[in-house]
A and B are shown apart, each in its own frame.
Chain A
Amino acid sequence: DGGITQSPKYLFRKEGQNVTLSCEQNLNHDAMYWYRQDPGQGLRLIYYSQIVNDFQKGDIAEGYSVSREKKESFPLTVTSAQKNPTAFYLCASSRGPWVDTQYFGPGTRLTVL
């Protein structure tokens, strides 16, 4: 898990602003994921990507966007369309779609002011 980094650790956003959360991995993993964590609700999948230049919506994709231009990077943009963005955001990666173990980054805590 030391091979997955997220930045920043804390992020504050004003209403109406878009913000981008960074996720980088040096594990040579093909698949990457973004989760949102709220108290008492576990982890919910926002987007995932199984290969470069391809990504799929998860259960709560509305108000978020992603890109996967490089294998190592999977940034998440929280847009102004996301009505309740304050949460803890976790990025994860796994070797490929046939291997299920996911390893998590340290997370970004986003707060909307």
Chain B
Amino acid sequence: GENVEQHPSTLSVQEGDSAVIKCTYSDSASNYFPWYKQELGKRPQLIIDIRSNVGEKKDQRIAVTLNKTAKHFSLHITETQPEDSAVYFCAASTNTGNQFYFGTGTSLTVIP
């Protein structure tokens, strides 16, 4: 099955700096890569996603890049704010199984 690895497990940045979280996957058939943000004790919420026919997608301060050859994708958050502090999860899935395989999460802390 698919194996998704996520790094780093914790990340601290100063307010206004950028944050980058990286994920690798093993199944070359994976074609959908969402990113979820989870605040403490709350549900994961989709913040951005990318499909395998696209190399980069941007939504205001967040962007995701995908390298299919190397089988890795990354979340980029620019001009970080304290409200960006949360746990971020990446995931990968294929059309056939409609299962998500999640990374183990990155706890992001933005220091004011």
A residues sitting closer than 8 Å to B (CB atoms) are 1, 31, 40-45, 48, 50, 58-59, 90, 94, 97-98, 100-107
Contacts and interface: CB of A to CB of B under 8 A. Distances in A.
Contacts of A58: 99
B81 interface: no
Interface string B77-112: 000000000000100010100111011110000000
Interface residues of chain A: helix, strand, loop or mixed (majority): loop
Which interface residue of A42, A45, A50 has the most chain B CB atoms within 10 A?
A: A42
A36 B69 CA distance: 31
A103 B44 CA distance: 8
B98 A94 contact: yes
Contacts, number: 55
Given A1-B45, A31-B98, A45-B99, A100 B89 contact: no
B45 A41 contact: no
A41 B101 CA distance: 12
Given A40-B104, A41-B104, A104 B44 contact: yes
A107 B102 contact: no
Contact of A50 (B1, B43, B95, B98): B98
B61 interface: no
B89 A43 contact: yes
Contacts of B99: 45, 48, 58
Interface string B21-63: 0000000000010101000011111100100000000000000
Contacts of B89: 42-43
B102 A42 contact: yes
B43 A104 contact: yes
A44 B102 CA distance: 7
Nearest to A88: B41
Nearest to B103: A42
B98 A101 contact: no
19 contacts: A40-B104, A41-B104, A42-B102, A42-B104, A43-B44, A44-B102, A45-B100, A50-B98, A58-B99, A97-B98, A98-B95, A100-B34, A100-B95, A100-B98, A102-B34, A104-B44, A104-B45, A105-B43, A107-B42
